[in-house]
Structures are given as structure tokens and as C-alpha cells.
Structure 1
Amino acid sequence: MSYFLSKAGLDFFIAFGVVIGGATLAAIGSVFMLLPPATTMLDTAARLKIWAIVAAIGGSIDPVRVIESNIMEGHLSPAAQQICFIIIAFLGAHLATELVRLICKGAA
């Protein structure tokens, strides 16, 4: 249980950090390129969401293979854990995207 909670927490914060960090750095870059930072932040956050999930769960196809192999063998617990990790990473990325949207609401 401790492994599950620590990995789930890390997945959440990795996905959250990828979106927040990417959107913030894109906004800084947009200032140098004379583009509107709020619009750039919103667009970047939306485009980074799926990549934040992929980065959080391991950055490869391995989690999907774990799900497939365990379901085929009849072991549902490891597959359910991987699905939970993906959902938690999605929640982190989505929360970060909504936070960026809230921050940029008045500026865009």
C-alpha cells in the first residue's frame, strides 16, 4: 500500500509539474517573441496534458504492456494499479491545466 501511495503521489505531481512548468516557460518565451503570454500559456497547457500523463507513468508503452499481460494471465490487481496510476496522472495534468486557465482567465 505504501508503494502504491508514493508512486501515485509522484505520478500526480510529475504530471502537474510538467504542465505548469511547460506553460510557464512557454509564457516566458512568448514575451521574448512578442506574443501574448496568456494565450500561449493556455494553448501550451492544453497541448502538454497528454504528454504530462505519458511522462508521469513512465514515458513508454510499458504500463500498457503490464495491463495487457496481467489481464491475459488473469491477474487483475497489477492491471488495476496501472489504470489507477494513469487516472491519477490525468488528474494532476488536468488540475494544472485548470489552474493555468484560472490564472489566465482575466488576461486572455
Structure 2
Amino acid sequence: MSRLITVFFIAFGITLGGSLFAGLAGVLTRQAPFELMKEVAGELKLWAVIAAIGGAFTALRGIEEGFLGGQPSSLVKQLFYLASALLGAQAAAALLLAAVDRR
């Protein structure tokens, strides 16, 4: 259970932190920071999920063990990690969009 929470917040932090720093870069380069933050949040979600689950190959290895190795518990565990990372990245993007659109 603690790993699921950790994966969630890693994906959340990557998405939110990267977007906030993109907004800072937008200010420094005289671009529209809020638009840049929204754009980067959408682009970072996939990378946040991959980083949170420990890299694509680790997750794929766990899924492979579940399918081909006859270890369904490994498959289910990897799917829960993937879902947790997706929820974390999506929650950060939704929070950012709500904050930016509220201005």
C-alpha cells in the first residue's frame, strides 16, 4: 500500500513541479506562463507515469512475468502501480488547470 501512495505522489510531483517550473521559464522568456504551464502539464503526464513506476522496462517485465510466467499477482500489482501513477499525474494536471483557469 505504501508503494502505491509513493507512486501516486511521484507522478503528481513530476507533473506539478515540471509545470510550475515551465511557468517560471515562461515568465523569464516573456511567453504566456499560464498557457505554457497547461501545455507542459499535458506533455509531462506520460513521462511522470513512466518515471513513477520505475521506468517502462521494469513495468513491462512485471507484466510479462504475470502473463508468461504464470504469476498473476505480479501482473495485478503492476496494473495497480500503473493506475496509481496515472491518477497522480491526472490529479496534478487537474489541480493545475483548475488553478490556472481560475485566475
Length-normalised TM-score, structure 1:
0.91
* In 2: Cα distance, 1:92 partner to 1:54 partner: 12
Per mean C-alpha deviation after superposition, the further-off stretch among 34-43 and 56-65 is: 56-65
Match of 1:28 among 21, 24, 28: 24
Q: Distance in 2 between matches of 1:11 and 1:61?
A: 16
| Equivalence map 1:11-50=2 (5 Å) | 11-50=7-46
Alignment length (residue pairs): 103
Q: Which runs of 5+ in 2 are unaligned?
A: none
Deviating beyond 6 angstroms after TM superposition, the runs of 4 or more aligned structure 1 residues are none
Q: Does 1:53 align with 2:49?
A: yes
Gaps of 5+ in 1: none
Q: How far does the alpha carbon of each residue in 1:18-55 deviate from its partner, in whole angstroms, 9 at most, with x for none?
A: 00100000000100000011101100000000000000
8 Å CA contact retained: 2:65, 2:74: no
Distance 1:31 1:49, change over 3 A: same
Most deviating of 21-30 and 56-65: 56-65
- TM-score calculated relative to the size of structure 2: 0.95
**Overall identity of the aligned pairs, in %:** 34
